[in-house]
């Protein structure tokens, strides 16, 4: 069974940083593109970042470029999102999501999410 | 970036109704479109990919159609478990975007 478990969220002041993590199990992690998707409380979904199966390709939504960094460790079946210079508008539930093998695409498995609150 | 616009934002329906949700892309997305269902407090669940392909395990009352810039999600006979919010998503480019969502509520 595919499982994705996010951690690392919390309350942080504007301008602060966090490192979000996603532990993957139940599938061959190194075969799949992985992504982060966020959802503002009571609002819709926003794709944040994606990374290719080997980590060489990375893509970000414009609003987080230069502030967020996606990475993966295929030896540890782990996905990360380093978030810096946080703003109030980054407050959201952050989901780890699995994409298809070998290319970006729809997300067929999701974690339960980790909540990031940016507030003074 | 490609913009995705769903309509309606809210849909009131009864069990047994045929329900249709529309998603329009700001430019052609070559059928690289997915549909998700999300219930309160839960992560989204993939229903349809490549516009019309049913994800494994999804009931056959769900179907997707369309091409180019206009797509629809149809629920042939609404069931109690189907009251939820539905999102479309394009993946024509790595900068994937979602529609704003359509909430299907009890009439």
Residue A17, pLDDT above cutoff 90: yes
Q: Answer yes or no: do A104 and B34 touch at CB < 8 A.
A: no
Residue B97, pLDDT above cutoff 90: yes
Q: Among A16-25, A40-49, B61-70, whose mean pLDDT is lowest?
A: A40-49
Q: Answer yes or no: do A57 and B97 touch at CB < 8 A.
A: no
B77: distance to nearest CA of chain A, Å? 24
CA angle B41, A40, A63 (to 5 degrees): 145
| CB contacts, 8 Å: A45 with chain B | 36, 38, 44, 87, 89, 98, 101
Name the B residues in 5-44 with CB < 8 Å from any A CB. 32, 34, 36, 38, 43-44
| CB contacts, 8 Å: A44 with chain B | 87, 98-101
- Provide mean pLDDT across the span B30-49: 96
Residue A93, pLDDT above cutoff 90: yes
Residue B78, pLDDT above cutoff 90: yes
Query: What pLDDT score was predicted for residue A101?
Result: 86
Query: What pLDDT score was predicted for residue B12?
Result: 98
Q: What is d(CA A72, CA A31) in angstroms, rounded to the nearest whole number?
A: 12
Indicate the DSSP class of residue A13.
-
Beta strand pairing call for B10-13 and B102-106: parallel
Structure-block tokens of residue B99: 């529609």
Residue A92, pLDDT above cutoff 90: yes
Q: Answer yes or no: do B89 and A105 touch at CB < 8 A.
A: no
For residue B63, what are the contacts with CB-CB under 8 A and spacing of at least 6? B48, B52, B54, B73, B74, B76
Beta carbon pairs, A and B, within 8 Å: 54
Query: What pLDDT score was predicted for residue A29?
Result: 97
Give residue for tokens 């998503």. B89
Q: What is d(CA A15, CA A117) in angstroms, rounded to the nearest whole number?
A: 12
User: Please, what sign has the CA dihedral across residues A62, A64, A68, A74?
Assistant: negative
Q: What is d(CA B36, CA B99) in angstroms, rounded to the nearest whole number?
A: 10
* Between residues A107 and A43, the one the model is more confident about: A107
Q: How far is CA B79 from CA A13, B26, B43, B72, B104, in A?
A: 44, 32, 20, 18, 11
Query: What pLDDT score was predicted for residue A26?
Result: 98
Q: Among A1-10, A99-108, B8-17, B65-74, whose mean pLDDT is lowest?
A: A99-108
Kindly indicate the confidence band of residue A42, based on its pLDDT and cuts at 50, 70 and 90.
Answer: confident
In a mutational test of the A interface, the residue from B96, B97, B99 whose CB has the highest number of chain A CBs within 10 Å is B96
Query: What pLDDT score was predicted for residue A104?
Result: 87
Q: Mean pLDDT, chain B, as a whole number?
A: 97
Q: What is d(CA B102, CA B4) in angstroms, rounded to the nearest whole number?
A: 12
Distance of CA A92 to the CA centre of its chain: 11
Query: What pLDDT score was predicted for residue A41?
Result: 80
Q: Mean pLDDT, chain A, as a whole number?
A: 96
Kindly indicate the confidence band of residue B1, based on its pLDDT and cuts at 50, 70 and 90.
Answer: confident
Q: What is d(CA B95, CA A64) in angstroms, rounded to the nearest whole number?
A: 12
């Amino acid at each position: 069974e595919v499982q994705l478990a996010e951690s690392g969220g919390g309350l942080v002041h504007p301008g602060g940083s966090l490192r979000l993590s996603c532990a993957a199990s139940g599938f061959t992690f190194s075969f799949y593109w992985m992504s982060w998707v966020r959802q503002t409380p009571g609002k819709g979904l926003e794709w944040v970042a994606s990374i290719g199966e080997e980590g060489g390709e990375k893509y970000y939504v414009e609003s987080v470029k230069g502030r967020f960094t996606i990475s993966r460790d295929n030896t540890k079946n782990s996905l990360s999102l380093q978030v810096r210079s946080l703003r109030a508008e980054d407050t959201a539930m952050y989901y780890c999501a699995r994409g298809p093998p070998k290319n970006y695409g729809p997300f067929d498995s999701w974690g339960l999410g980790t909540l990031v609150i940016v507030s003074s | 970036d490609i913009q995705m616009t769903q309509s309606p934002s809210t849909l009131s329906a009864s069990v047994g109704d045929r329900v249709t949700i529309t998603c329009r892309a700001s430019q052609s997305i070559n059928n690289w479109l997915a549909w998700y269902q999300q219930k309160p407090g839960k992560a989204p669940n993939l229903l349809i990919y490549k516009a019309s392909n049913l994800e494994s395990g999804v009931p056959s009352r769900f179907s997707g159609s369309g091409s180019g810039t206009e797509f629809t999600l149809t629920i042939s006979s609404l069931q109690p478990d189907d009251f939820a919010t539905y999102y479309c998503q394009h993946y024509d480019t790595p900068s994937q975007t979602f529609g704003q969502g359509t909430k299907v509520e009890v009439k």
